[in-house]
Copies of this chain bind each other. A is one copy, B any other.
């Protein structure tokens, strides 16, 4: 995969609340598919499908224990997403500064 393909896969995998919740769980500790499925009102096959999407995007690796194959978070693609997104930080920070100066102007006028 090129780094652009990796970003495509990571962004696409992150575009679902259940998949983001699964990563949140795995950020605390590794877990089996059954453990991950517990809190969700979802069938085991549906959860397994979400896990496969995360695995294909490189966000999850599976352990070698034949019976349980625990899932582990791999933060590499999250770092790539953060690096890509950070290049726009100056834009939202500039907008925040603008809003702040408009607000303080309004405040100055009303006091």
Number of interface residues of A (CB under 8 A): 29
A73 at the binding interface (Cβ < 8 Å)? yes
A27 at the binding interface (Cβ < 8 Å)? yes
A104 at the binding interface (Cβ < 8 Å)? no
Query: How many whole Å from A64's CB to the nearest CB in chain B?
Result: 19
Contact partner of A75 (CB less than 8 A), chosen from B11, B15, B92, is B92
A37 at the binding interface (Cβ < 8 Å)? no
The complex places the Cα of A87 from the Cα of B20 at a distance, in Å, of: 12
On A, residues with C-beta under 8 Å from B are 4, 7-9, 11-12, 14-17, 20, 23, 27, 73, 75-76, 78-79, 81-82, 84-89, 91-92, 95
